[in-house]
Chains A and B, each alone.
Chain A
Amino acid sequence: MSKDSQMRAAINQKLIEMGERERLKELLRAKLVECGWKDQLKAHCKDVIREKGLEHVTVEDLVTEVTPKGRALVPDSVKKELLQRIRAFLA
């Protein structure tokens, strides 16, 4: 629905303008490093690279490997906190 998309666009714009999006991004990054998500994913990457061969790894390969696993590996606490912050911002 265009109203919906309009609303989304407006909200996104607000997020960026107020710097909240950057803050949220940094917060998420910090939390993921803290909980070991990054190291887990890096280890997974090593396996992939060894599999594919060091010379032939491309960005697309890595992205397709990392993203679904990454999404799944995010701990619940981090997810909940981030959702809460976003909701608080929108409310």
Chain B
Amino acid sequence: MKMEDMPLSGPDNTRLEALVHDIYSELVDDACLGLSFEVHRAVKQGYFFLDETDQESMKEFEIVDQPGVDIFGQVYNQWKNKECECPNCKRLIAASRFAPHLEKCLGMGRNSSRIANRRLATNNTMSKSESDQEDNDDLNDNDWSYGNQTSPRRSKSLKHKNGTYFFRCRHYNYSSGINYETLGPDEVRSVLTTGCVMPRCPGRSQRCPQHTDEQRRAARVFLLGRPPPLPDVDAVMESDTFDIPDGQSLMSRLQWEDSPDVSPTDSASSKATCCAQNEAKTLRSRSSAQKMVFIENKLNVKHCAPPRKLYSSRTRYALFRNTAERRGEAREAARGGQFEDVMFGHF
């Protein structure tokens, strides 16, 4: 892009400067010529004086060049301090916020319906502290977590699962608790030793306040296939005492489809053995959500809500009844007043 180097001796330098100036002059002349041709053409075509009207209009719309005022002569922030009364809610709103407020107020904006629905939803959950909280709980409950276990499948949509809202992901989801089915043997081991065993219980400790020891024991029996030794059930660290029976038998219990004893197409099986088979058959076609509900029903455990929410009276009573039956009256008496605890949500 550069010319050959010019030696910068005196005369050459002046010649060079002269040259530069000459080039510059040529460029300016070109510009002037261009302008004159343009003007001449405008004159001859008759559009040169088009932007001039009568003197009055010219005076009226003259460009204003004063400080604090725009070129039309209007004051810039005249409306900043003014307040307008909303015709809908009769409140005084600042002028610059008036349009967005009106949008929300009248419900005509792009997001106004979304916000209103969300507000209604939160109001409903707060006001109705009764039953049917599972759905909302799962939706709103993001508090606790097991740690850093995240999975790319975490955000799978609920709508895939028959429209039920129990599962938000197929892997660990902290707000809906443990999903045993998708865990490998090592993960199951860690789950059983670090947190509450009960399906979908968000409790962190091994003795979470929402479930009794009997329930946990039943869950372990069901999942592992053998009861852990009794005195250790209530011990804090069971990781030392039990190990997962070989992963296959465990997973076979968890995965209905893979059960070796069930022949999937044997519809002519006798009634005696068909219970398990029917279960397997029906469950195979169901979603994991329904499978978890089935597990819970087997364990006679209701889905547990996070501790901070109250139970409906029906749920509480059912919980109480379950625990009372298992334990026998003696222990119930020993616990004393547990019904009240269940009723009022204190554990």
Contacts and interface: CB of A to CB of B under 8 A. Distances in A.
Interface residues of A, number: 41
B3 A90 contact: yes
A74 B33 CA distance: 14
Interface stretch (B36-44, B88-96, B231-239): B36-44
Contact of B20 (A20, A67, A70, A87): A87
B3 A82 contact: no
A89 B27 contact: no
Contact of A62 (B27, B28, B30, B40): B40
A40 B16 CA distance: 32
Contact residues of B: prevailing secondary structure: helix
B3 to A, nearest CB: 5
A17 to B, nearest CB: 11
Interface string A30-65: 001000001001100110010000100111001101
Contacts of A14: 3
A79 B31 CA distance: 13
B24 A90 contact: no
Contacts of A11: 3, 19, 23
B2 interface: yes
A65 to B, nearest CB: 8
A58 B37 CA distance: 10
Contacts of B40: 57-59, 62
Contacts of A15: 23
B43 A91 contact: no
B295 to A, nearest CB: 76
B184 to A, nearest CB: 67
A18 B43 CA distance: 36
Nearest to B34: A29
A68 to B, nearest CB: 9
B24 A42 contact: no
A66 B36 contact: yes
B39 A42 contact: yes
A62 B1 contact: no
Contacts of A83: 20-21, 24
B39 A29 contact: no
Contacts of A18: 1
Contacts of B35: 38, 41-42, 45, 66, 70
Given A28-B28, A71-B29, A74-B28, 14 more contacts: A15-B23, A18-B1, A24-B27, A28-B27, A41-B32, A49-B43, A57-B43, A62-B40, A63-B36, A65-B36, A66-B35, A87-B20, A89-B3, A90-B19
13 contacts: A11-B3, A11-B23, A18-B1, A45-B35, A59-B37, A67-B32, A71-B25, A79-B24, A86-B20, A86-B23, A90-B19, A91-B2, A91-B6
